[in-house]
Structure 1
Amino acid sequence: MKKFTLYILIVLLYPVVLNAQNSTTPEKVSLQYCIQQAIKNFPVQKQLQLNQSKYKLEQENTKKNYLPTLDLNGMASYQSDVTKVPLPPTLGFSIPEISKDWYKVNLDLEQFIWDGGMTKNQKVLQTADYKIADQQVKVKTFTLKKQVDILYFNILFSQTSLDALHVLIKDLDARIKDAETAMQNGTLLPADVDALKVNKKLAQQQIIEKSEEQKGLIGSLNQLTGLNIQSAKQLIVPKANITSYTFVNNRPEYKLLELQKNKISALEKMSTVKRMPKIKLFGQAGYGRPGYDMLDDDFKTYYKVGVSLHWNIFDWNRVKNEKQILTIQSDIIKTEQENFNQSLRAELKKQLASIQKVEKLIQTDKDILQLQKNVVAAANNKLKNGTITATTYLIELNKEIKAQLTMEAHKIQLEFAKYQYLTTLGNL
C-alpha cells in the first residue's frame, strides 16, 4: 500500500517538477540571451577569477623585494689543519693555536637600496602575463560565441525547411485527392496516383530527418547554454545592426598578438635592467668559534654592517643578443598580424558579397510573393464562379505560402550573413 501511495505521488508531482525545470528557460529566447547563458555556463570562464588571484599574489610577492631579507645560517666543521704562526715561543708567552673544530651561527640581513629597476620591470612583466592569460580566455569565449551563433541559426534554418516540407505535403495531399478522383473517372492510371504518393512519402522522410537533426542541434545548444529549449519556435529571429562597413579588427586573437608584443617590450626593458648597478645594505650578527679574530680560540659574539655594490660591467654581449632575439620575435608577431588582417579582409569581402546576394534574393522574393498573391486572388474569383476546383485553388494558395516561407528563410539567411560579418570583425 505504501509503494502504491508513493507511485501516485510521483505521478502527480512529476509535471510540477518538469515545469519547475522548464521555468528557468523563457518562453521566447534570443540569440544574445543564449550567448550570455553559454558564457555563464562556460567552465573556462572561471579562469578569469583564478588569473586575477594569481596576479595579485605575484604582485604582492614582488613588492616584498623592497623588504629586508633575514636569514639564519649555522655551520659546524672540522678541518685537518689550521693557520699557525711560525715563531718560536718566547719566555712567558706562547702563541695560541686555533682549534680544528669550528662553530658558527649567523643572522644575515640584506636590504636593497637600489635594484636597478628590476622590481618595477618585474611587476610590468607580470601585468603583461596577466593580460595575456585573460585574453586567452576571451579567445576561447569568442570561439564559444561562434558555436552558439551557428547552432542558433542552424535551428532556425531547419525550422524553415520543416515548414516548407509541411506545405509540400499539404500540396501533395490536395493533388493526390484530385488524382484519385480522376482515377475513379478513368482519366488517370493508378500508377500516376502512386507516383504522387511516393513523393509524399519522400517528403515525410525528409521531415523525419530534419526533425531529428533539429533535436540534435537543440540538444547541443542546451548543453552549451544550460537552458532547456524544447522547440525551434522558442527562438527569436535576431536582427543584426551593421552601422559601418569600415575595417576595424576587433578580434580577440588580434588583441592577443598585440599583448604579446607588449610583453616583448617589457622583456627588452628587463634585459637592459639586468646590467644596471645594484646597491644593498647588509648586516651580520653571529656567535661562534673562532669569531672575526682568528687568533682568539674562544666562543665570541660578532657583527658587521656595510654597503655592497654589484655591477655587471661586461656580459659578453648577452643582453645585446637577447634584445636582438626579442626584436626578431616582435617582427614575427607583426607578420602574423599582417597575415591575420589580410585573411580577415578577404573573408569580409566574401561575406559582404553574400549579404548583397541575399538582399537581392529578398527583393525578388517580394516580387514573386506579390505576383502569387495576384494568382491566388484570381483563383479565388474563379472558385466562386465554379470555373476551377477547390484543389486547384489550394495548390495556388500553397504556392503563396511556400513563396512566403522562402522569403522568410532568405531573411534569416540575411541576418546570419550579417552576424557572420560582425563575428569576423570581432563585434559579436
Structure 2
Amino acid sequence: MRFLLIVFFFSTIVGHTQNSISLDACYEGLKANYPLAKQGAILEQQNTAELSAITSKTLPQFNLDAQATYQSEVTEVPIPNGDINSLNNDQYRTTLTANQLLYNGGRIKASQQLQNSSTQRKQQEVEVNLYQLKQRVNQLYFSILLIDDQLLLLNAEKEQLNSTLNEVKSGVKNGVLLPTSDKVIEAELLKITQQYKEATNTKSKLITSLSTLIGVTLNTETSFQKPFLSIVETKDLNRPELSLFNLKKQEIEQQQNLLSKAIAPAVNAFATGGLGNPGLNFLENDFSAYYIVGLKLNWNVFDWNGNKKQRQALNFSKELISNQEDVFRLNTNTSLHEQQKEIETLESNMAIDQQLISLQQEVVRTFDAQLKNGVITTSQYIIELTKLFEAENQFNQHKTQLELAKANYNTLKGDLN
C-alpha cells in the first residue's frame, strides 16, 4: 500500500513538472521507478504464499495408499482338520488416512513469526540498496547544476566579448587600435563556442544517466531547481542500514524461538479407513472394510544437546551483526566528519572567491578603458577578462559543491525529508 501511494504521489508531481525538476523529486523517482523498488511488492506476495503454506499444516492431512502384492508364503494355522481356509497369495489393500495436528509446542506460530521477520529483513535490504543510490543521484544532479552555471558564464563572457569586439572594430577602423586586434577577440569567441558545445554534450550525457536512474523523462530543456540545503544537527544516525541490523537480530531471535519449540512433543490424531483382502482379521480370506482411530505422540526426548548448541551458535551470529553495526557507525561518523570539514573549506573558499571577483572586476574596468584608448593590446585585455570569468566560475563551482557536500552530509546522516 505504501509503495502504491509513493508511485501515485510521484506520478502526480511529474505530470506537472516534466519541464522542471527538483532534487527531492529525483529521490522520489528513484524510490518509485528504479527496478529494484519492484522487489518490495514481490516480497510481499512471496510472504503471503509462504504464510499460507505454513498455515496449511494446521489443517487435516490426507494420505491415500494402495498396494497389491503376491506372497510366496502366507500365514497358516497349524490346527489339524480345522475349518480355516488358507490366505490367498495375492493380497490387496487400499487405505485413506487423515492426520490432524493437535499440539506441537507452538512451532506453527513460531514458523510464521520467522517468515514475517525474514520478509521484513529482505524488504529493508531493498530500502538500503535504494538509499545508497541517492549519493549517485546527488552527484549527477549537482554536476548538471554545475554545467548550467558554466553555460551561463560562457554566455555572459560571449556577450561581453561581442560588445568589446564592436568597439575594437571601430577603433581599428579609426586607426586607434592595431589592425589584428579584432581577430584576437574573434579567436576567443571561437574558443567559447567550442567550450559551450563540450559543456552541452556533457550535460546531455549526465541528464540521460539521471533520467535512466530515476525513471523520469528529462532532456536539455528541463530546468533543474537549485536546492538550498541546511544541515540537520542530530546526535544519532537515521540510516536504513541501522534498521536492517535490528531486523537481522530479530530474525535470529525468531530462529532461536523456533528451535526452542522444536524440542516440544507433537501430538496428532489420526483416522484410517481401508478396504483389504484380508482386512484387519487376517484369517478372513475376503475383501472387508475396516477403520482405525487413535492418537500419536512424537517426542525426541534426548538429542545430545544439539538443539541447545544450535541456539548458542545463533548468539554468535547476533554478536557478529552487532559488530558490523559498530563498524558501520564508526565509518559513517568518520565520513560525516570529513564531509563537515569539506563544507567548512568550501565556505571559506567562497569568501575568498568573492574578494577575488571584486578585485578582478576593478582590473577589468581599468583594462577596458585602456584598451579603448589604445594603451594596451587586445590580448592583455582578454587575459584579465578571462581571469574575471574564471574567478566567477570558481565561485559558482564552490557554491554548487557546497550544496552537494550538504546533500551528501544529509544522505550520510540519514536526515532526508
Instruction: Select the residue among 96, 100, 123 that pairs with 2:85.
Output: 96
Label 1:49 to 1:189 Cα distance change in 2 as closer, same or farther (>3 A).
Answer: same
Classify the secondary structure of the residue corresponding to 1:112. strand
> When the two structures are superposed, what TM-score results if normalisation uses the length of structure 1?
0.80
Instruction: Report the secondary structure of 1:246's partner residue.
Output: coil
- In the alignment, which residue of structure 2 is the partner of 1:64? 56
1:158 equivalent in alignment to 2:122: no
Distance in 1 between residues matched to 2:323 and 2:361, nearest whole Å:
57
Greater alpha carbon shift after TM alignment, 263-272 vs 312-321: 312-321
Cα deviation, residue 235, structure 1: 0.7
Tell me whether 1:361 sits opposite 2:361 in the alignment.
no
1:108 is the counterpart of 2:92: no
Q: Which residue of 1 aligns with 2:8?
A: none
Change over 3 Å in CA distance of 1:259–1:376 after alignment to 2: same
Give 1:227's aligned residue. 216
User: Paired residue for 2:76?
Assistant: 84
Compared CA separation, residues 121 and 404, structure 1 to 2 (3 A): same
Query: 1:319 matched to which residue of 2?
Result: 307
Structure 1's unaligned 5+ residue stretches are 1-21
Name the counterpart of 2:22: 30
| 1:178 Cα deviation after fit | 4.5
SS in 1 for 2:21: coil
Q: SS at the partner of 1:305?
A: strand
Bigger CA drift: 235-244 or 348-357?
A: 235-244
2:269 to 257, 260, 281: 281
For residue 281 of structure 1, give the secondary structure of its aligned residue in structure 2: strand
1:94-116 CA distance string (max 9 Å, x none): 33322222211212111111112
Match of 1:209 in 2: 198
* 2:217 pairs with 1:236: no
Note the C-alpha offset of 1:29: 1.5
Residue aligned with 1:325, SS = helix
Corresponding residue for residue 6 of structure 2: none
Q: Give the distance between the partners of 1:319 and 1:183, measured in 2 at CA.
A: 100
| Aligned mates of 2:353, 2:27 — CA distance in 1 | 31
CA contact (8 A) 1:109 1:283 kept: yes
Structure 2: distance between partners of 1:295 and 1:253: 72
- Aligned equivalent of 1:339: 327
Q: Is 1:45–2:34 an aligned residue pair?
A: no
Contact 2:30/2:130 (<8 A) preserved: no
Q: Secondary structure at the match of 1:151?
A: helix
State the aligned residue count: 398
State the shift of 1:268 in Å: 1.5
Residue of structure 2 aligned with 1:299, choices 287, 293, 308:
287
8 Å contact from structure 2 (residues 168, 177) kept in 1: no
Letter paired with 2:47: Y
Partner secondary structure for residue 146 of structure 1: helix
User: What does residue 11 of structure 2 align with?
Assistant: none
99-108 vs 122-131, greater mean Cα deviation? 99-108
Report the aligned-residue RMSD.
Answer: 3.7
Secondary structure at 2:20 match in 1: coil
**TM-score when scaled to structure 2?**
0.82
The answer to whether the Cα contact below 8 Å between 1:276 and 1:311 also exists between their aligned partners in 2 is: yes
Cα offsets for 1:66-112 (capped at 9, x unmatched): 221122222211111122233333xxx33332222221121211111
Matches within 5 A, 1:262-273: 262-273=250-261
Taking structure 1 as reference, are residues 183 and 311 closer, same or farther at Cα in structure 2, changes over 3 Å only? Answer: farther
SS in 2 for 1:268: helix
Identity of aligned residues (%): 29
* Contact 2:353–2:395 (Cα < 8 Å) also in 1: yes
Q: Distance in 1 between matches of 2:214 and 2:190?
A: 36
Q: Which consecutive residues of structure 2, in runs of 5 or more, have no partner in the other structure?
A: 1-13
Q: For structure 1, which segment, 283-292 or 23-32, has the greater mean C-alpha deviation from structure 2 after superposition?
A: 23-32
* Secondary structure of the corresponding residue to residue 313 of structure 1: coil
Taking the aligned partners of 2:366 and 2:304, their CA distance within structure 1 comes to 95
Partner of 2:9: none
Residue aligned with 1:71, SS? strand
Is 1:122 paired with 2:111? yes
Q: Which residue of 1 aligns with 2:10?
A: none
Q: Does 1:413 align with 2:385?
A: no
Q: CA deviation at 1:332?
A: 2.4
